[in-house]
Structure 1
Amino acid sequence: MGTIIFDLDGTLIDSAPDIHATLNRALGPLGVPELSLERVRGFIGRGAPVLVRRACDALDVPPDARDEVLERFLARYENAVELTQPYDQAFEALDAVRARGHRLGLCTNKPIAATQYVLEHFDLARRLDAVIGGDSLAVKKPDPAPLRMAMSALGAEHCLYVGDSETDCETAENAGMPFALFTRGYRKTAPEGLPNRAAFDDWSDFPAIAETIISE
């Protein structure tokens, strides 16, 4: 039996369309140009405050207006799931590794309220034994503390961490854990530029990958 902990946005689900729409609505009262989906994808990964800061920097939003943008974003984002979709075969892969006796957890920089809403909406909560969100601790990934907190909740000293981005790769490195890279997410670096035990673009391949890494 092993322990596998997953990132959420860009790993199990493609939430960028909802993040994009919510961010533009939060910025709307300022009268600034709308950001493209691809540009917003590049802002995702280190939590909502960094996402909003990057957007505000890109649009030269005055410092005194930024807290209100973040507040508007968080208020709308908590239940923003209309445009979000699971990656093909991702949930089936979770069921497959869980059926083999592995303990599963989630470690995401998404705020915990929004995370829990997504998990309930997609019936993911029952598949996970521990969930750590972006505001569960005072620090976020790539600090290793959230991942270690998820491991502790699962009673594990070792885990396979699965994510899609530079942040996830760095988190695994900082925690000294093996990393598997899902290559269809929100990374900006080529897969070969991110240290990993395995890289995959099809979730149907993941159960076999997990067995290989866990058995090492």
Structure 2
Amino acid sequence: MTSIRTVLFDLDGTLADTAPDLAAALNRLLAEAGRAPLPFERIRPVVSHGSPALIRIGFALAPGEPGYAERRARLLEIYAQDLCRETRLFPGVPDLLAALRARGIAWGIVTNKPAFLTDPLVERLGLPHPPVCVVSGDTTNNKKPHPEPMLHACRIAAAKPEDCLYVGDAERDVRAGRDAGMRTLVALFGYIGENESPSRWGADALIRSPLEVLDWIDAAAGRRHAR
């Protein structure tokens, strides 16, 4: 095993707790349609699956069905107007990013969120230092679970996939990272539904807090030196 020199993160549900603002946007859209709001506890687990999942639970519409495109466009419009009112970095993330920098480990973001939402959100999050790369859902021709955005991030960061660790809270994150040749961790503190089974996704480990990334890196380095 090579040493980890770059850590890449999913954005929603891994680096930042965006669910409050996305839930507010969905409930505003529901109100505009004369529908009752949904409880936050129902919305939170689907946030990592993006706007299609939000429109599905709010309006029972899937991509391609009549009305879906209009609902999705309006949802994103509402969200873009106020995308960082309640959104915060998860507890421990600032300390994690500072620790990575102190160790000389670069970090970046690979998300399926479109760039017109990703870029202003990243600017407003109050990050302790900027990422070496930000790859959004429309940066490359394919999005996760395809490995293309992961490999694009490597090119920007001048990193080899085998020297990278990807941290995410969805099965697509693990698939994309593994298919790109990276190590992967599942962020159990993210947006994972009751019917999902992260232990079956094939990640290298499951973590319950951001700072456990450092523990995993240290353990991996110990295993490498022991050989």
* TM-score range normalised by the length of the shorter chain: 0.7 to 0.9
User: What corresponds to 1:87 in structure 2?
Assistant: 90
User: What corresponds to 2:34 in structure 1?
Assistant: 31
RMSD over aligned Cα atoms: 2.5
Q: Is 1:198 matched with 2:205?
A: yes
Say whether the 8 Å CA contact 2:29–2:74 is kept in structure 1. yes
Following superposition, the deviation at residue 108 of structure 1 comes to 0.7
Following superposition, the deviation at residue 113 of structure 1 comes to 2.2
Q: Is 1:122 matched with 2:129?
A: no
CA gap of 1:57–1:167, structure 2 versus 1, over 3 A, is: farther
Say whether the 8 Å CA contact 1:160–1:214 is kept in structure 2. no
Matching residue's letter, 1:145: E
Following superposition, the deviation at residue 84 of structure 1 comes to 1.4
Structural mapping, 1:56-95, within 5 Å: 58=60, 63-78=65-80, 79-95=82-98
CA deviation string 1:108-135 (max 9, x = no partner)? 1112122222211122283301001112
- The TM-score normalised by the length of structure 1 is 0.87
- Matches of 1:100 and 1:22, distance apart in 2: 39
Matching residue's letter, 1:74: L
| Identity across the alignment (%) | 33
Following superposition, the deviation at residue 57 of structure 1 comes to 5.4
Say whether the 8 Å CA contact 1:12–1:91 is kept in structure 2. no
CA deviation string 1:14-71 (max 9, x = no partner)? 11111111122233332233233233233333443x2344235536999332222111
Q: Is 1:51 matched with 2:56?
A: no
- Matches of 1:35 and 1:167, distance apart in 2: 26
More displaced stretch, 171-180 vs 25-34:
25-34
Following superposition, the deviation at residue 214 of structure 1 comes to 6.0
- The TM-score normalised by the length of structure 2 is 0.83
CA deviation string 1:83-110 (max 9, x = no partner)? 2122111121011012211121100111
Matching residue's letter, 2:182: M
Matching residue's letter, 2:9: F
Matched residue count = 215
**Secondary structure of the corresponding residue to residue 181 of structure 1:** strand
CA gap of 1:136–1:75, structure 2 versus 1, over 3 A, is: same
**Consecutive unaligned residues in structure 1, runs of 5 or more:** none
User: What corresponds to 1:210 in structure 2?
Assistant: 217
CA gap of 1:211–1:151, structure 2 versus 1, over 3 A, is: farther
Say whether the 8 Å CA contact 1:45–1:167 is kept in structure 2. no
**Consecutive unaligned residues in structure 2, runs of 5 or more:** none
Say whether the 8 Å CA contact 1:94–1:127 is kept in structure 2. no
CA gap of 1:102–1:138, structure 2 versus 1, over 3 A, is: same
More displaced stretch, 32-41 vs 59-68:
59-68
User: What corresponds to 1:178 in structure 2?
Assistant: 183
